[in-house]
Structure 1
Amino acid sequence: MRIALAGNPNSGKTTLFNAITGKIEHVGNWPGVTVAKKEGDVKKELNKSGKKIRVVDLPGAYSLAAFTCEENITRDFVKKEAPDVIINIVDATKLSRSLLFTTQLLELGIPVVVALNKSDLLDNKEITIDTQKLAERLGCPVVETASIEGKGLAELIAAAAASVGKNQPAPFRPAVSPAAETAAPAAAVDRERFAFVAALVKEVEVRTVDSAKQTRHDAIDRIVAHKIWGIPIFAAVIYFVFSLSQTYLGPFFADILVGWIDSLYTWADGLIGAGVSPLLRALLLDGIIGGVGAVIGFLPLIMVLFFLLALLEDCGYMARVAVVMDRHMKKVGLSGRSIIPMVIGTGCAIPGIMATRTIRDERQRRTTAMLTPFMPCGAKLPVIALFAGIFFEDAAWVGTSMYFVAITIIVFGARIIQKITKATPSKSYFIMELPEYRVPSLKRAAVSMLARGKAFVVNAGTVILLCNVTVQLMQTFTWNFQVVETGMEDTSILASLASPLAFLLIPLGFGVWQLAAAAVVGFIAKENVVGTLAVVYSISNFIDTEELVLVSGAQDVAAVMGLTSASALAYLMFNLFTPPCFAAIGAMRAEMESSKWLMAGIGFQFGMGYTLAYFVYQIGTLLTTGSFGTGVIPGLVAVALMAGIIFYLIQKQEEK
């Protein structure tokens, strides 16, 4: 038996899916988060039918007319794959808006059960709904649910199982005859449908709320979603989040984990003993325990950040951020929907890029897919934390500024692409239903944090482990497979492969093979930058979370790495704003549907990261020492050359 969950965005559909299946899916407060169907089995304690019940969570949709990509997915699924039952999630507090979609679902000939969700909020809003009369008028079961509290879920599944195979005549029929229905203007039918829903709501719902009165939510929105004050408020919120996660609360929890890692390192060192091959010792201690431990050591800081971001999202604030930034995106030729992938990209660039498929305009979709990876994702946080701790004394402004640098790059890059492609301005309508403010759920935030943390640990235990072992082997051997002698590290395989790239990075202030190797390995997964630096500099014996570094003192590590504050900031920006990991590049290729746009996008990202790092290093060195850094002229030539190539490729693609 297969059940399809269908409903408007923000109706609580994905939360309901999580509650009845036990799955952990991302719950967002904006359309476009669920860009593909998700499936799961109903939990045994809710399934009394004795049959296996498969539930499919469909993207949020307002209509089966398929004006958006999400509605396309929903329409195609319910029409072509014919589920046994459709559970239509209806927001009980917004009945008139939700029932329009319900009447369309009831016309498909598939049994429908209405889940009157958020019914726990009706008393607070002074709303009364006659559920029995609503069920009679719709001709289908109506079950009151509160997915957050888990109320009514067993009754809902039982009603769905009992509805299989039953005939439910559609309650709404247009006034035109069936023979002339195809010729009837769609607008006229829609007006009839709206009139039917309005009459039905008037019959079953009683509201005692003065709609003209400004609510507390309206008063808050006048401040946090203000066209001027909204951005500095967002800056203050993000700064607070980073201060709490990277300077105060995060390191407190990290101390415990770091103690375990240090004990494991010491125990393994004693277990191996002195008679073991130096290669095996380096591989196990520095490559595996040290390299992976260097990344895992930052896990508490990252999880605290994930937890705080989940709270912001759950309370409804992140949707307001999208509204604040919408007007600015339109000025640079992007759709208001471009905000959504970029907000999602702060968690992971891959789903952020995939969310661009909700943008109908091809150029805007490709441009957004190209620019979304500039947003610092969860994989880049260990790199930010490492460099903030070593070179900037745990300053919260480092992490905060990276987000606003990313926003600036996105706006600047979108403007460049708009001018080069000579795109004509087009009207784009961005409709977002703002969720009501609510007290965020600590449980949901914890579940979201654990899910993201699990993905981070799995990545550290697989990809990062493999990369660190490979890096350790390449650093240990020469091309003749001889062990590298002490003081001759530049003869290793790793050094010989990274040295040519290091030469190109001299104008950026970090032209040494160790830093070049870490940057290259970072394209596999950005977390690898931290682990690789720990391996190549042999500073992975333990982590001091007070300094967010891998040995006892930040100054010691800074001396080993040989970076100034200007070159360290340049290196951080180079890793954050050059092309993302290979998995994200694969997502870019799928959404752009053009190899030329993909190559142009990668070139643009590399050119942007290189250019930004160049100017940060050279200007920073000029301000701190009174003169430019090494390689200022060759670097300027390289920046000009890359910019010209990127512009040419994009223009050539648009001319076809």
Structure 2
Amino acid sequence: MKIALTGNPNSGKTTLFNAITGKIEKVGNWAGVTIEKKEGPIKSSLNSTARDIVAVDLPGAYSMSPFTSEENITRDFVKNENPDVIVNIVDATNLSRSLFFTTQLLELDIPVVVALNKSDLNVKKENRINVQKLSKALGCPVIETVSTKSSNNGLNELISKTVEVLGKGQSAPFDAKDVNHSDEKSVRASDESRYSFVNKIVTDVENRKTKSSSQTTQDAADRILAHKWLGLPIFAVIMWAVFSISQTHVGPLVADTLVGWIEGFQGAVGEALGDSVSPVLYAILVDGIIGGVGAVVGFLPLIMVLFFLLALLEDCGYMARVAVIMDRFFKKVGLSGKSIIPMIIGTGCAIPGVMATRTIKNERQRRTTAMLTPFMPCGAKLPVIALFAGAFFNEAAWVGTSMYFLGIFIIILGALIVVRITGEKHAREFFIMELPEYRMPSIKRATISMLSRGKAFIIKAGTIILLCNAAVQIMQTFNWQFQVVAEGAENTSILASISSPFAFLLIPLGFGVWQLAAAAITGFIAKENVVGTLAVVYGITNFIDTEALEMTGSATDVAGVMGLTSVAALSYLVFNLFTPPCFAAIGAMNSEMENKKWLWGGIGFQFGMGYVAAFLTYQIGTLITTGTFGTGFVPGLVAVALMIGAVVVLVRKGDQKAANKLKATA
């Protein structure tokens, strides 16, 4: 038995899916979170029948007449996949908006059960819905549910009623059979009639108390937090506080303990191998695999604390206000208001962020957003931020905060450039998003979100990063004749010979050594590899406690081991954050752009932006701190000038294209 979960965005659909299946799919307070259908079996505790029941979580939709690709997925599944029962999740706090879609579902001759979700919020507002009247008016069962509660949530009754209606017919309370869908006037008239029908039902079944004359606490909060001028500095302060807590205070306390365990495990394995084992095998297993992976995993507590705090911000309704704050800036540079959502999702992982761009209807805006979304620092980049903030800037919270805002600045600048290159006028877009009410965030949901992301991080550390670090250790151990490299002759290794040509190109950025180039290269496979590779090539296991760096014998801090100034370290951080993302994210870009020219142009643009940003950071920073430009200023300036020149040429072609379009329409 297959049931389809349908409903408007932000109706609690995915939360209900998680509650009845036990899964932990991503939940958010905006459209675009569920970008593809997801399936899962109903929990045995809710399924008292002998049937195998599978629930399918479909993307949010407002209508069976699709406007976005998300709504296409929902319509096609409901019409073509023949689900046995449709469970329509209706937001009890916004009944009139939800029932338009409900009446369309009732016309499909598939049994429908309405889950009247968020019923607890109505009680708090002293609003009442007569469930029996609503069920009679719609001609289908209506069950009150609270999917965020673990008990007395109505889910058992919902599943029982779903099984009960299996195989029964479904009548439609609103007759739309005479609509001519090829005639716009006929469709509009039908929609108006449907809205009137829905409003009549709502008037009959709902007893709502409203105080329109007084300003609510929610309104007062929005006047400050979503203010067009105050909103942005408030967001900056909040992000600074998040990084301060996660990277400076709570995170390192837990990380010290975890790093101690990793070092103990590394030492135990080394003792177990003994002196009789091959030094090469010892280096690969203990130093390369355990040491490299351990260095990455050591940052897990910092990352999980950050994810937990971000989940709290999202759950309380604040992140939706951030979307509103950024909307006015994005529209001015030719992006859609919907471009904000993929970028906020991308702070967790760039891959779902890029995939969420499919909600944008305009092709150029969708491709531009897919190209720019990876500039937002994602979870994979957080270990790199944490490493350099802790090692070079005394765990200063401003480092992580500034990287987020630098990412936003690069996105805005990049959008302006792309608009000029494509020669398209700014399309007039309206960004409509329902702002969720402020609420106390759920510690449980934030914890589940944190553990889910932490699990994904550990899986990546145990697969991709492990294999990459093993390969890096092998390439560092042998030369091209597959002879073990002698101590002090690391420059003759396979890794050094591959990385050195790239290191030469990075001299104007302040880090032209093969070790740092190797870490940057492996970062294109997965950004966490930057930390793992640095641990392998420099023989550092503990990046959290700098006292452990004395084992390298070359310095007592990371700056001495890597030979970087603080300005060069900041440049290296900028380069790794704002050059092309991991291969998986590039694959997502390819899927969403559906155009190789855009894909390769986007990758080139990302590399150019990262290179120029790192060059300016190093050279200007060195000029400020020492009074002179840094090493390689002239060749770096030539390279940057060539990149900017290429952009200027493309912009002029775009301007000419726009002028030709204007003449053609004149």
Q: Is the 8 A contact 1:18 1:24 kept in 2?
A: yes
Contact 1:59/1:71 (<8 A) preserved: yes
Aligned equivalent of 2:4: 4
* Residues 423-432 or 269-278, more deviating: 269-278
Within 5 Å, which residues of 2 pair with 1:530-569?
Answer: 530-540=531-541, 542-545=542-545, 555-569=556-570
The residue identity in structure 2 corresponding to 1:521 is: T
Specify the alignment match of 2:271 in structure 1: 270
Q: Which residue of 2 aligns with 1:576?
A: 577
Superposed CA deviations along residues 300-331 of structure 1, whole A, max 9, x for unmatched, are: 00000000000111111100000100010000
Query: How many Å apart are 1:644 and its aligned residue?
Result: 3.5
Aligned with residue 158 of structure 1, among 157, 160, 168: 160
Amino acid across the alignment from 1:90: V
Match of 1:42 in 2: 42
Q: Which residue type is aligned with residue 530 of structure 2?
A: V
In angstroms, what is the RMSD of aligned CA positions?
1.9
* 2:93 alignment partner, SS class: helix
- Answer yes or no: is 1:635 the counterpart of 2:620: no
Asked whether the equivalents of residues 604 and 646 of structure 1 are also in contact (C-alpha less than 8 Å), the reply is no
Give the equivalent residue in structure 2 for 1:228. 229
Equivalent position of 1:125 in the other structure: 125
Cα distance, 1:548 vs structure 2: 10
Q: What residue number does 1:199 align with?
A: 200
Cα distance per residue 1:128-186 (max 9 Å; x no partner) = 11101111111000001000014100110111111112112100125xx8387875621
1:387-426 correspondence runs (5 A): 387-426=388-427
CA deviations over 1:35-71 (Å, ceiling 9, x no partner): 1111111001101221011111011111111112221
In structure 2, the residue corresponding to 1:122 is in which secondary structure?
helix
- In structure 2, the partner of 1:172 is 174
Amino acid at match of 2:415: A
Structure-1 residue corresponding to 2:33: 33
- The alignment partner of 1:589 has SS state of helix
1:474 corresponding residue in structure 2: 475
Q: Secondary structure at the match of 2:64?
A: coil
Equivalent residue number for residue 145 of structure 1: 145
Q: Which residue does the alignment assign to 2:344?
A: 343
Q: Say whether the 8 Å CA contact 1:86–1:111 is kept in structure 2.
A: yes
- Give the whole-Å Cα distance in 2 for the aligned partners of 1:570 and 1:615: 8
Match of 2:625 in 1: 624
Deviation at 1:281, TM superposition (A): 1.5
1:490 CA drift (Å): 0.3
Q: Which amino acid aligns with 1:171?
A: P
Verify the 8 A CA contact 1:543 1:551 in the aligned structure 2: no
Paired with 2:562 and 2:302, the residues of 1 have a C-alpha distance of: 23
Which residue in 1 is equivalent to 2:608? 607
1:316 is aligned to 2:317: yes
Compute the displacement of 1:376 (Å): 0.3
1:63–1:104: 8 Å Cα contact kept in structure 2?
yes
Per-residue CA deviation, residues 378-419 of structure 1 (Å, 9 max, x unaligned), is: 000000011111111111100110000000000011111112
Assess, with a 3 A threshold, how the Cα gap between structure 1 residues 72 and 247 changes in structure 2: closer, same or farther: same
SS of equivalent to 2:80? helix
Distance 1:646 1:521, change over 3 A: farther
Length-normalised TM-score, structure 2:
0.95
In 1: Cα distance, 2:486 partner to 2:391 partner: 29
What secondary structure sits across from 2:361 in the alignment?
coil
1:185 alignment partner, SS class = helix
TM-score (norm 1): 0.97
Task: Determine helix, strand or coil for the equivalent of 2:90.
Answer: strand
Please name the residue that 2:663 is paired with: none
Structure 2 Cα separation of the partners of residues 488 and 519 of structure 1:
22
Summarize the Cα distance change of 1:649–1:584 in structure 2 as closer, same or farther, 3 Å threshold: farther
CA contact (8 A) 1:117 1:144 kept: yes
Match of 1:347, SS?
A: coil
In structure 2, what is the Cα distance between the partners aligned to 1:380 and 1:259?
A: 23
The range that moved more, 8-17 or 634-643, is: 634-643
Q: Which residue of structure 1 aligns with residue 135 of structure 2?
A: 135
**Paired residue for 2:63?**
63
| Paired residue secondary structure (1:209) | coil
For the Cα contact (< 8 Å) 2:421–2:653, is it kept in 1?
no
- Equivalent positions of 1:180-579 (< 5 A) are 185-540=186-541, 542-545=542-545, 555-579=556-580
Partners of 1:585 and 1:648 lie apart in 2 by: 26
Give 1:544 shift.
Answer: 3.5
Residue 276 of structure 1: how far off its partner (Å): 2.1
Report the CA distance shift for 1:550/1:40 in structure 2 as closer, same or farther (over 3 A). Answer: farther
Q: Is the 8 A contact 1:14 1:57 kept in 2?
A: yes
What code does the residue aligned with 2:35 have?
Answer: V
Q: Secondary structure at the match of 1:178?
A: coil
Q: Which residue of 1 aligns with 2:80?
A: 80
CA distance in 1, matches of 2:468, 2:274: 26
Give structure 1 stretches of 5+ with no counterpart.
none
